[in-house]
Amino acid sequence: MLGQFGAPPTIAGQPPVGVVNQPPGTFAPEVIPPGDNVIYPSDGVGFLTPDVPRPIDITALVEETQTGRFMFGVGVNSDAGVVGNIVINELNFDLFRWPTSWTDFRDGTAFRGAGQQLRIEAVPGTQLNRYIINFREPYLFDSLISLGVSGFFFDRRFQDWDEERLGGRVTLGYQFPYAPDLSVSASLRAEKVNINNPRLPTPPELAPVLGDNGIYSGRVALAHDTRDSTFLPTEGHLIELGYEQVFGDFDYPRGTLEASKYFLIRQRPDTSGRHVLSVTGQVGISGNQTPVFENFFAGGFSTLRGFDFRGASPQSLGVFVGGQFQFLGSVEYMLPLTADDMLRGVVFVDFGTVEESVKLEEDDFRVAPGFGLRITVPALGPAPIALDFAFPVAHEDGDDLRVFSFFVGFGR
């Protein structure tokens, strides 16, 4: 057998052809024109030629990661008060792998192994109680179609009425293979909504919906998401266009458009210390038969900072009844305050309005500049603690103002 410095091999009908001398095991040698005084590398068994690749054996040693998590915690925010959080999350669920003995439970093989997702969440609180069970099959029948099924119970004590929702949702999604950031979904929703304990005097928008109401709808949505993170994105954009048709006790259409863009302004050489400019916007239009509990509302840290929760919305007899048209936007600049990026500062301007019908009234337009902090504690998860101060410089008479808003969550 010839070694690495033997005579170069020949190809039938051609003079000897060589390649650059490369380390043993190389499978993509650079071909050199005939006549150059170079040779093929050897893998210890024979020469490697461009047209005769030599396979090698690879032994992969892998260990399955933890796919199930049990989490609990407590949090407080200016929109919902104090809330607890108990979550069971399994990312490798198998709906059809029923246990055959107690050994399957002990070994952790029962209901596991198919790559399905199951999440059970309980959120009891002082103003909000929410219980959800979600099941998702990401590749239905080994296709690019996903299936999601969820059931939920929601109990919220608003300032002007109490609201309970019991229902479920079925969703089919599709991720485009040649555009992985683009997805489309279609869903069916069914809910029983109970409205009780209204504020007195009760406005005419609220009185007809007291008691039980049936809401059924079909929705389609198209989304393009290139963000690098869900909780603290620094690059990319999200655009989602949705249309929903509601029927049952009420019959009306509903359209929404949400868009956000994140610009990376500067960063350190190791990609930490990112300065980010973000621009976000929401537009929503709902039909004339929209019940008051399905209206758009604004105010709070998730919509318009500088206002109390739902406190920047149309009113009737002193009750915030929302509206059928929503236009909201925000411009925010985030910068690091510490070298480890655990503390960030933000400056922002929130603006927009919610109207009873599709129009923009100059006197109703709200604007609130402000500043805040984002505190990221790795042990508490990826969602940062948010503390914001906003100062409304334009608002409508009767709006419920709140300078300070916050979101603090603790989970394990």
Q: Write out the DSSP string of 28-94.
A: SPPB--TT-S----B-SSSB-BTTB-----------PPP-EEEEEEEEEETTTEEEEEEEEEEEEE-
Distance CA 171, CA 158 (A): 29
Residue 219 structure tokens:
């929705």
Residue labelled with tokens 């049952």: 248
- Indicate the pairing of strand 385-390 with strand 236-248: unpaired
Contacts of 234 (CB under 8 A, 6+ apart): 228, 262, 264, 274, 276
Decide if pLDDT at 32 tops 90. no
What does the pLDDT average to over 99-104?
85
What does the pLDDT average to over 258-274?
95
Report yes or no: 345 and 373 within 8 Å, Cβ to Cβ: yes
Calculate the CA 170 to chain-centre distance.
18
Confidence (pLDDT) at 152: 97
Confidence (pLDDT) at 180: 86
Decide if pLDDT at 60 tops 90. no
Name the 3-class secondary structure at 7.
coil
Query: For residue 208, which of 286, 153, 289 has the smallest C-alpha distance?
Result: 289
Decide if pLDDT at 247 tops 90. yes
Angle (nearest 5°) at CA 350 between 347 and 240: 110
CA distances from 265 to 227, 238, 330, 331, 400 (A): 15, 18, 18, 14, 35
Decide if pLDDT at 196 tops 60. yes
Say yes or no: domain 139-411 is CATH 2.40.160.50. Answer: yes
Report yes or no: 385 and 409 within 8 Å, Cβ to Cβ: yes
Confidence (pLDDT) at 287: 96
Confidence (pLDDT) at 25: 45
Number of H helices, E strands in the chain: 1, 20
Decide if pLDDT at 258 tops 80. yes
Residue 187 structure tokens:
């869903």
What does the pLDDT average to over 105-110?
81
If one compares 195 and 16, the residue with the highest pLDDT of the two is 195
> What's the distance, Cα to Cα, between the start and end of the chain in Å?
63
Burial degree of 279 (CB within 10 A; 0-12, 13-18, 19+): middle
Confidence (pLDDT) at 49: 55
Distance CA 245, CA 111 (A): 36
Calculate the CA 157 to chain-centre distance.
26
Residue labelled with tokens 């919906």: 209
Contacts of 327 (CB under 8 A, 6+ apart): 281, 282, 283, 352, 353, 354, 360
pLDDT in tens, 333-348: 999 999 999 999 999 9
Confidence (pLDDT) at 21: 46
- At 163, the pLDDT band (50, 70, 90 cuts) reads very high
> Can you give the residue ranges of every domain in the chain?
1-62, 139-411
Decide if pLDDT at 48 tops 60. no
Cβ neighbours of 405 (radius 10 Å): 25
Distance CA 351, CA 390 (A): 11
- At 7, the pLDDT band (50, 70, 90 cuts) reads very low
Burial degree of 153 (CB within 10 A; 0-12, 13-18, 19+): middle
What does the pLDDT average to over 51-63?
73
Distance CA 154, CA 149 (A): 17
Residue at 4: amino acid letter: Q
Q: What is the mean pLDDT of the chain?
A: 86
Confidence (pLDDT) at 361: 80
Report yes or no: 301 and 171 within 8 Å, Cβ to Cβ: no
Report yes or no: 263 and 234 within 8 Å, Cβ to Cβ: no
In DSSP notation, 199-246 reads -SSPPTTTGGG-EEEEEEEEEEEEEEE--S-SSS--SEEEEEEEEEEE
Report yes or no: 189 and 216 within 8 Å, Cβ to Cβ: yes
Residue at 345: amino acid letter: G
Confidence (pLDDT) at 75: 82
pLDDT in tens, 139-155: 999 999 999 999 999 99
Q: What is the pTM of this model?
A: 0.81
Decide if pLDDT at 77 tops 60. yes
